[in-house]
Amino acid sequence: MAKQIILNAFEMASAMHNSHGLWKHPESKRQRGYKDIEYWIKMAKLLERGKFDAVFFADVLGVYDTYRQSKAPSIRDGLQFPVNDASLVIPVMASVTKHLSFALTVSTTYEHPFNIARRFSTLDHLTKGRIAWNVVTSYLPNAARNFGLPEMIKHDQRYDIADEFLEVTYKLWEGSWEDDAFIEDKQNGILIDPDKVHEIHHAGKFFAVEGPHLCEPSPQRTPVIYQAGTSERGREFAAKHAECVFVGGPTPERIKYYTNDIKRRAEKYGRNPDNIKVFAFLTVIVGKTTEEAEQKFAELNHLWSPDASKAQFSGASGYDLAEYETKDLNAPFEFKNTEHGHYKAASLTKDASKKLSIGEALNKLEQLDRESIIVGNPEEVADAIQHRFEESGVDGFNLNHLITPSSLEDFIELVIPILQKRGLYKTEYKPGTLREKLFNYGSSLLPEDHPGSAYRSNRSKSFIV
């Protein structure tokens, strides 16, 4: 069977996500709906009807306040603000679906591994193994100040913390409980065999955790690990831990560059590079006719918020674009390292399809980016998706929907059936957990070549690091 496209719906438990200013569209329901259980129940049923593999919840722990050194541009347009805790939305969606999975973004910089291990085990139990973790190190200065830090921890050190964070969670998920610890022996009055539950005694540079894990082993034990950082240090982290990675870049060449780099690095960790799935971004405007789609594009472009778009770029990259607005607009828009995130800064510099001037970079943010968005009738959209899928060699996409839920409804009604007819998209879900659906290991657990599986051998004893 031809390789089929894996699809995640890119989401956030927030008023607005990436569709800057489009809350003004009459069909936009998210800016009010995101607070209601019914909204998420409807979304879950819609996505499962469309056979989406997962809903991918992004998350941030602060307000974007780099642009103009102010929170106002973000708050004014609801830029990923207000934002609720998606981990509490997932069980609601899981209760009305059987196969749809859930990727939850959690920061390793502002959480504690003992707590997060329990959160994901609980979600893995409740969803019967349909949970993934998008590991981020975060990039907003306001998030640092929300957690008592005067400024962000340095970018690469955030990944050093993330490495140890994952080590602790692996020890808890993979090494603390033996499979047959829960015995419910009514005869002898033993519910759980204490000899089969082990402390972990982690003593590291950033964390000290005695254990044992507070949760019984869940269907996957370790959730499917996603990662989306594209900096050098981010790719190194992905190569060691990620089962699924998001790579930026509007061109197949840049996507292939990141893909090959991460897979080459993965081999160094003894991993089979084919065990890493690669995803790219996808934004689509589909109409019944080409004209209708172009009309929709023009309508959305008219409602676009340049300020919110520049606020998101500034916060994610650390470039205060208000400073660039007063520079020579013909000067080149250069990449520079900051302590924020790399992937956004790269999108208009290293990853851009051509070298941009400052004016061109600002202009790309000040309107809907026609170059990266697929606009057309159903066949044209399916053609463009098929081309990107085959050209870039990715395994799937994160679908960014501009108007929620109508963009999703259009996509499911008009595009999915064509992809299915072409054999590019499933007509039925595979049975089992998310890891069983995504990979062919024949097991819900981490594969033997993943570093997390090394901690299984410790189930037979309490171990001191």
Backbone angles phi, psi at 264, to 5 degrees: -65, -45
Check residue 392 for interaction with ligand FMN (CB under 6 A): no
Among 176, 167, 173, residue whose Cα is nearest residue 108: 167
Supply 425's token pair: 């998209």
Angle at 83 between CA 346 and CA 236, to 5 degrees: 35
Q: Of these, 18, 101, 138, 433, which contacts ligand FMN (CB under 6 A)?
A: 138
Of 65-73, 135-143, 251-259, 440-448, the segment contacting ligand FMN by CB under 6 A is 135-143
Supply 98's token pair: 């059987």
Give me the 410-449 binding string for ligand FMN, x by CB under 6 A, dash otherwise: ----------------------------------------
Kindly tell me which of 66 and 138 has the beta carbon lying closer to ligand FMN. 138
CB 7 within 8 A of CB 52: yes
How large is the C-alpha radius of gyration of the chain? 22
- Residues annotated in the binding site, as ranges? 59, 105, 155, 159, 231
Check residue 58 for interaction with ligand FMN (CB under 6 A): yes
Residue pointed to by tokens 């033993």: 190
Separation between Cα atoms, residue 424 and residue 33, nearest integer Å? 32
Q: In angstroms, what CA-CA distances link 153 with 66, 160, 359?
A: 16, 11, 32
Separation between Cα atoms, residue 366 and residue 361, nearest integer Å? 9
Residues 209-228 contacting ligand FMN, CB under 6 A = 228
Check residue 341 for interaction with ligand FMN (CB under 6 A): yes
Q: Please list the alpha-helical segments (H only) found in 269-289.
A: none
Q: Of these, 60, 89, 197, 255, which contacts ligand FMN (CB under 6 A)?
A: 60
Check residue 252 for interaction with ligand FMN (CB under 6 A): no
Kindly tell me which of 339 and 413 has the beta carbon lying closer to ligand FMN. 339
Q: Of these, 28, 231, 305, 317, which contacts ligand FMN (CB under 6 A)?
A: 231
Percent helix, strand and coil across the chain, each rounded to 5? 45, 15, 40
Give me the 86-115 binding string for ligand FMN, x by CB under 6 A, dash otherwise: -------------------x----------
- Residues annotated in the binding site for FMN, as ranges? 59, 105, 155, 159, 231
Kindly tell me which of 113 and 229 has the beta carbon lying closer to ligand FMN. 229
Check residue 388 for interaction with ligand FMN (CB under 6 A): no
Task: For the CB of residue 138, give the shortest distance to ligand FMN in the complex, in Å.
Answer: 4
Please report which helix (H) or strand (E) contains residue 256, including its range.
helix 252-268
Task: For the CB of residue 58, give the shortest distance to ligand FMN in the complex, in Å.
Answer: 3
Check residue 230 for interaction with ligand FMN (CB under 6 A): yes
168 Cβ partners below 8 Å, 6+ apart?
113, 114, 117, 200, 202, 204, 207, 209
Binding site for ligand FMN (CB under 6 A): 58-60, 105, 136-139, 228-231, 234, 246, 248, 341-343, 398
